[in-house]
C-alpha cells in the first residue's frame, strides 16, 4: 500500500475547500500574534519535503515576523510529500513531537482523501499552539497574507 494514496485528477482543492482553509487560517490568527501560511505545489525539488518547506519559508520571508512565530504547511501534490515548518520562536515552545504529530494527522486525513479537512485541522491545531504561547495582543497586526499560495 502506498504511503500517499491520494489520486485527485482535478485541482487539489476545490474553490469551496480553498475558502474553508483560508477561513481556518483567519480564525486561528485572530487568537494569536503568530502567522500561518499554506503552500501547495505539484513537485518537490528535494528528496525531503522539509528541505523544500524550509526553502519556501525563507523565500516568503516568513522568518521576518517580529516574534519568529510563523508556520508553513507545505504540500507537493504529485510527489505526495508534505511538511510543516515552524520558525524558531514557536518551534522552541512546542518541540519536535508536536510537529511530527501534526504531519501524522494530516497524512491520516489525506489517506482518506480529506485534503481540506487535513489542512484545516492542522491549521487549527497550530493556531491553538500559537494562541497558547503567543496570545493575541491588541497591537498585533497581520504580518503575512492569509491566502493559500499555489506554486507550480
Question: Which CATH number does the domain housing residue 122 bear?
Answer: 3.10.310.50
Domain count, the chain: 1
Range of the domain at 57: 15-150
Residue 5 lies in a domain: no
**Predicted confidence (pLDDT) per residue in 74-100, tens digit:** 999 999 999 999 999 999 999 999 999
Q: Kindly state whether residue 10 falls inside one of the protein's structural domains.
A: no
Residue 3 inside a domain? The answer is no
pLDDT at 46: 65
- Domain membership of residue 41 (yes or no) is yes
Cα within 13 Å of Cα(80), Cβ side: 11
Cell matching residue 87: 520558525
Q: What pLDDT, in 10s, does the model give residues 4-50?
A: 444 443 478 999 999 999 999 999 999 999 999 999 999 987 679 99
Decide: 71 and 83 in contact? Cβ < 8 Å: no
pTM of the model: 0.90
Domain assignment present for 111? yes
CA distances to 29, 32, 47, 152 from 35, rounded to whole Å, are: 6, 8, 27, 23
pLDDT of amino acid 135: 93
Amino acid at each position: 500500500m502506498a504511503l500517499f494514496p491520494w489520486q485527485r485528477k482535478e485541482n487539489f482543492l476545490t474553490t469551496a475547500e480553498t475558502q474553508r482553509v483560508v477561513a481556518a487560517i483567519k480564525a486561528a490568527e485572530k487568537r494569536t500574534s503568530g502567522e500561518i501560511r499554506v503552500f501547495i505545489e505539484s513537485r518537490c525539488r528535494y528528496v525531503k519535503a522539509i528541505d523544500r518547506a524550509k526553502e519556501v519559508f525563507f523565500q516568503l520571508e516568513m522568518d521576518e515576523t517580529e516574534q519568529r512565530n510563523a508556520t508553513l504547511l507545505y504540500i507537493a501534490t504529485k510527489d505526495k510529500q508534505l511538511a510543516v515548518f515552524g520558525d524558531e520562536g514557536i518551534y522552541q515552545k512546542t518541540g519536535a513531537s508536536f510537529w511530527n504529530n501534526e504531519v501524522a494527522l494530516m497524512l491520516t486525513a489525506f489517506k482518506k482523501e480529506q485534503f481540506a479537512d487535513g489542512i484545516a485541522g492542522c491549521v487549527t491545531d497550530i493556531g491553538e499552539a500559537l494562541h497558547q504561547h503567543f496570545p493575541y495582543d491588541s497591537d498585533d497586526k497581520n504580518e503575512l497574507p492569509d491566502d493559500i499560495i499555489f506554486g507550480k
